[in-house]
């Protein structure tokens, strides 16, 4: 895959919460197909940046372009339609439905008549279902109730529910939080599989996870970008060590 086309362009972004500037003059861009990790100390503005990219928070200044579209002119639901998927920390899966019912539900984005969901599935939908079940490594558990899954599996199901809507850009907040070591490892591998096809932004606090799976990292500090580069560059940067690691 060749990385070249910018998919996100943020210029001089400002976000103001009742007079408090959470984001101040932030420039940020992403190329299609990137897996980008967003790190930085608490309060740096990482979550706020994701909130702006999915339309949950409206900026007080600057430009936010997704492809050629100015996101600041759109509502959150419109931005989802444009192809930006956001996973929040609180789970939004239906525990009493099976894994595949959750996925089908998300694919159709409509509720009701659950008992006939599977029967009505078209061959195209079925193949899409199997494709994403494979990707999130839950094929063997397709018919199990979501409530019976492990914490990690629930998180993957939720990522699958986003993927099956086929967004171009996926925004994830601490995808491996609370997972076992082996689940964390699988999550890192999943992120790399996803980024073969999509652009992915991950906010992550677990530095061990970042070290293991990140190639390109953006370090935020006090509402702006402090440094950007490879994991190697970031690890050897004095300024980053100073603000981020408190040294
Ligand atoms: P991070 O994700 O890097 O920890 P956040 O984006 O959550 O940082 O927060 C950046 C700053 O903005 C913090 O100081 C936080 O307290 C503040 N903040 C975030 N959301 C709100 C809000 N809705 N109202 C007021 N202040 C907020």
Question: Does the structure show a pLDDT above 50 at 112?
Answer: no
**In this structure, are 65 and 176 located in the same domain?**
yes
CA of 20 to the centre of ligand 1 (A): 9
174 and 152, same domain (yes or no): no
Contact 43, 23 (CB under 8 A): no
Each residue's pLDDT tens digit, 175-207: 999 999 999 999 999 999 999 999 999 999 998
Same domain, 157 and 179: no
Q: Which residue has the least CA distance to atom 25 on ligand 1?
A: 17
Local structure of 27: helix, strand or coil: strand
* Best residue for ligand 1 mutational test, from 14, 16, 17, 177 (most atoms within 8 Å of Cβ): 17
137: domain range? Answer: 92-166
Say yes or no: 107 and 160 in one domain. yes
Domain boundary at 131, 166, 201, which? 166
What predicted TM-score, i.e. pTM, was given to this entire model? 0.91
Domain identity same for 43 and 159: no
SS3 11: strand
Average pLDDT score, the chain: 90
Is the Cβ atom of 50 under 6 angstroms away from ligand 1? no
Q: Is 243 found in the same domain as 184?
A: yes
Alpha-carbon span 106 to 139, nearest angstrom: 17
Instruction: Please spell the DSSP secondary structure of 170-232, one letter per residue.
Output: EEEE-TTTT--HHHHHHHHHHHHHHTTTSEEEEE---HHHHHHH-SEEEEEETTEEEEEEEHH
Which residue, judged by its Cα, is nearest atom 7 of ligand 1?
A: 47
Whether residues 185 and 64 share a domain: the answer is yes
Same domain, 159 and 176: no
- Among residues 114, 140, 166, the one where a domain terminates is 166
Clarify whether residues 175 and 191 are in a common domain: yes
Domain closes at, from 137, 166, 195: 166
Counted domains in the chain: 2
Which protein residue's CA is at the shortest distance from atom 18 of ligand 1?
A: 22
Write out pLDDT tens, residues 29-86. 999 999 999 999 999 999 999 999 999 999 999 999 999 899 999 999 899 889 999 9
Q: Which atom of ligand 1 is nearest to the CA of 48?
A: 6
Look up the CATH number of the domain holding residue 218: 3.40.50.300
Q: ipTM of the assembly?
A: 0.97
- C-alpha 48 to ligand 1 mean position (Å): 6
């Amino acid at each position: 895959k060749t990385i070249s086309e910018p998919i996100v362009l943020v210029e001089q972004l400002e976000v103001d919460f009742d007079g408090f500037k959470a984001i101040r003059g932030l420039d940020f861009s992403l190329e299609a197909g990137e897996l980008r990790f967003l790190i930085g100390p608490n309060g740096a503005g990482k979550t706020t940046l994701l909130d702006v990219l999915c339309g949950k928070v409206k900026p007080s200044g600057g430009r936010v372009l997704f492809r050629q579209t100015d996101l600041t002119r759109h509502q959150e639901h419109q931005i989802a339609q444009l192809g930006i998927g956001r996973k929040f920390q609180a789970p939004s899966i239906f525990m009493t439905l099976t894994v595949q019912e959750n996925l089908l539900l998300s694919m159709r984005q409509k509720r009701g008549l659950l008992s006939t969901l599977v029967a009505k599935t078209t061959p195209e939908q079925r193949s899409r279902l199997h494709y994403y079940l494979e990707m999130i490594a839950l094929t063997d558990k397709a018919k199990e109730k979501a409530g019976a899954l492990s914490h990690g599996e629930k998180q993957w199901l939720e990522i699958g529910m986003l993927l099956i809507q086929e967004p171009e850009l996926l925004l994830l907040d601490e995808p491996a939080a609370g997972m076992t070591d082996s689940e964390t490892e699988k999550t890192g591998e999943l992120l790399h599989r996803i980024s073969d096809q999509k652009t992915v932004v991950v906010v992550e606090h677990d530095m061990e996870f970042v070290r293991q799976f990140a190639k390109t990292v953006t370090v935020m500090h006090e509402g702006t970008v402090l440094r950007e580069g490879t994991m190697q560059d970031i690890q050897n940067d004095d300024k980053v060590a100073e603000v981020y690691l408190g040294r």
